A = this chain, B = another copy of it.
Amino acid sequence: MQPLPYIEKNKDRFINELFELLRIPSVSADSKYKADVLRTAEAVKEKIKSAGADTVEICSTAGYPIVYGEKIIDPKLPTVLVYGHYDVQPPDPIELWTSPPFEPVMKDGNIYARGACDDKGQMYMHVKAFELMMQTNSLPCNIKFMIEGEEEIGSDNLGIFVANNKEKLKADIILISDTGIIANDIPSLTVGLRGLSYLEVEVTGPNRDLHSGLYGGAVANPINVLCEMIAGMKDENNHITIPGFYDDVEVLSTEERAEMAKAPFSLEEYKKALDLSDIHGEKGYSTNERISIRPTLDVNGIWGGYTGEGAKTVIASKAYAKISMRLVPNQISDKMTKLFTNYFEKAAPSSVKVKVTPHHGGEAVVTPSNSIAYKAASMAMDKTFGKKPIPFRSGGSIPIVAMFKSELGLDSVLMGFGLDSDAIHSPNEHFGVFNYLKGIETIPYFYQYFTELSKK
């Protein structure tokens, strides 16, 4: 099998087709984009169909639909189930984009657009790799696609879909590209993901906005109280103070931590890339540990009172924050959500009312690195990068990986091709053309090696 000639011949079309997908603003978090999200599902269906699937269908859910497609060449051969998502993060803060988020442009070898990497670009590598295998008669096994539209808002309806379609989704392995590599010359495979609990809190003080002169000092200011409650959730060592928070945290051995510390990392370059004078985090852990084996608590958004131009002397009636915790293996998302809620409700002074609304969550996962599928992925990357990939735990969350394991009994291979610097979830998200094409080149080798290793 030689994927390169086909890629070389078709790469401009591969990029143009991705541009078409990127032009549809499929922001699942904001209902004003509803029609666009639905339109994206249709587009993905057409693309999988024309790449060579036997059947493709749009499976409706209580939320956005799931695109399912398959090509079964022989039921006795192994089956790879590809998971991806066609929805994207909101583009805010939109004013920081140097080009409009839904008008993709090519700049310095990168494709700039919301979703360029996460996950339209990475998902579409699989569609094009499938086309390549079909066109070059090199598809060695069966393939199934399951592309959802609610990953960025918690995949609320995917679990139900999976539970109701176990027969249809039967496979030997799940293949996902929604992660990254350490660098273009340091390939890596993700073997761990953090879990997530995402909540929104509301603090209510007086029943209406008040004049800060006439009332200031005599009533609880919900913004001040919210700040105090957020500040109270961490101690001076940046340990999280929610009772029970660390109870279930997996403790790694000195050897495991020493092994992790071997991954290439430059603190100076890290700080320089983010323009930071200093890093900040839990005492007793390295930067790489803080973003992989340790849980976190971060405020993702806060608002209340007057935020316009100039000055307004007001005490707001309400203050709000969106807060998320990244979890590590053994911490159960629902349990952490409850611990947070209990703590927040108890910590509130009697002068305010608080409300906690869970948004979504998911479990942390560690994927096996001694499986046939891991080996196939490792060999495929070795083949195309010329270097064996490093197994690597990511700080991000793909909650559905744990769900696939529990519902379908299937492991996942997390073979992503993005970079940390791709600015996913940020303004000016981009994806390297090198990475996009490298993905399309590597994926067929995975199918080849996985099929071969499965036969042994």
Contacts and interface: CB of A to CB of B under 8 A. Distances in A.
Contacts of A298: 212, 216-217, 221, 223-224, 315
A89 interface: yes
A260 to B, nearest CB: 14
Interface residues of A, number: 101
Given A208-B428, A212-B324, A314-B425, 17 more contacts: A206-B276, A209-B425, A210-B274, A210-B425, A210-B426, A213-B397, A214-B395, A216-B395, A217-B281, A218-B280, A223-B300, A224-B230, A224-B298, A228-B234, A278-B349, A279-B351, A301-B316
A308 B31 CA distance: 11
B351 A208 contact: no
Interface string A185-218: 0000000001010101000011111111111111
Contacts of A372: none
Count this chain's copies in the assembly: 2
A322 interface: yes
B427 A290 contact: no
Contact of A311 (B96, B154, B274, B312): B154
Contacts of A396: 211, 213-214
A309 interface: yes
Given A395-B214, A425-B211, A302 B301 contact: no
B219 A274 contact: yes
Contacts of A425: 209-212, 312-314
Contacts of A221: 298-299
Contact of A227 (B207, B231, B397): B231
A310 B208 contact: no
A280 B326 contact: no
Nearest to A293: B217
Nearest to A397: B213
Interface in A371-425: 394-397, 420, 423-425
